[in-house]
Amino acid sequence: MNFKRLCAIFIARNREFFRDRAAFGWNFLFPFLIIGGFGVIFSGKGYTEYKIGVFPYPLEIVSVQNLKIPEQFQKNSYVEFIGFKTLEDGLEKLKHHKIDFLMKIGSPSHQYWLSDSSPKGYIIEKVFMASLQPVDRQPIAEKKEIQGKEIEYIDWLFPGILAMNMMFSALWGVGYIVVRYRKNGVLKRLRATPLTAFEYLGAQLLSRIFLLMFSLVVVWVGCDLLFSFHVEGSYFNLFLVFFVGGLSLSSLGLLVASRGTSEEFTGGILNFITWPMMFLSEVWFSIEGSPQWIKMIAQVFPLTHMLTGVRKIMNDGAGLPDVGLELSIMLLITLICLGLGARLFSWNK
């Protein structure tokens, strides 16, 4: 491998990106618009489904009608009940906004927990209280406080927006561009040079990860000045998880681009990958309570593991050993995609 040739392609690709003012500006403007919009209207209006956690949840119970829950509350069309074996399991999901309300089955005082920072929790609390019949004008429900620090909804959402921006930039910025070069004959001309396929793919990967991390830092700093995000863990660990996640997403883009000659077909393939990944990787909302097979599909996507690791560090103060599994899976995805991409890569077909 010749590093001089690799650096030449790396510099050329970066110059092309920075000179394209429309693409350059949109990479920064888009996440700012999303974060700014949610900062103003993330009150939860417009959501129609609420996730209610109940515990203890015996394995033999298969229907919510068998649970000792107020009848009027059960009949609400916009409520989904999710069972947890222990209070600790339910509180963990509640703190991370994966459920909106937690209640204890069979409690005479109707004990419940909610996050005061959750707009959906506030609404469902009102619905729950309205479903109870007053007895001798005495308090009919007992609110319990969450132990430990609560996580603001915007702090939970922010990593998802950044990761989504990285996903689109990595897949489209690598996959679509390489296919366009092949269609226009640029790759065919490069093939006549001493440049090898490995050097070309390596330069494309390094260029994209450089641009991803540069954009990440700029957007993070800008949004943090506006909303003052709270980070429990290390910024270095956050940067490392984003970096490895960017590598895995970029390598997936290279795999897609290894053979494609049609921009339209490649665009369809990228849409087929990005949209399910965005929805199943919990960018916008939790998939807690979804069928197990949906959760298993979500584990295939590198975005899922990147978001899991970032949220562990940012919201829970986790260290690198705590996100070792996520880092290992993303590195494995990177190696597999790069290996297959280099094997399948063609300069002209």
Encode pLDDT of 214-243 as tens digits: 888 888 887 787 777 788 888 999 999 999
What integer is the mean pLDDT of 10-14?
76
| Burial class of residue 4 (count of CB atoms within 10 Å of its CB; 0-12, 13-18, 19+) | exposed
CATH fold of the domain at 50-131: D-Maltodextrin-Binding Protein; domain 2 (3.40.190)
What integer is the mean pLDDT of 243-254?
90
Q: pTM of the prediction?
A: 0.67
CA 165 to chain centre: 10
Encode pLDDT of 47-102 as tens digits: 447 888 888 875 444 455 556 777 778 777 778 888 888 888 888 888 888 888 99
Most confident of 4-13, 129-138, 192-201, 291-300: 291-300
| Burial class of residue 164 (count of CB atoms within 10 Å of its CB; 0-12, 13-18, 19+) | buried
Domain residue limits, the chain: 3-41+152-344, 50-131
Q: Which residues contact 14 (CB under 8 A, 6 or more apart)?
A: 207, 210, 211
Encode pLDDT of 170-194 as tens digits: 888 787 778 878 877 888 888 878 7
Under 8 Å between Cβ of 330 and 300: no
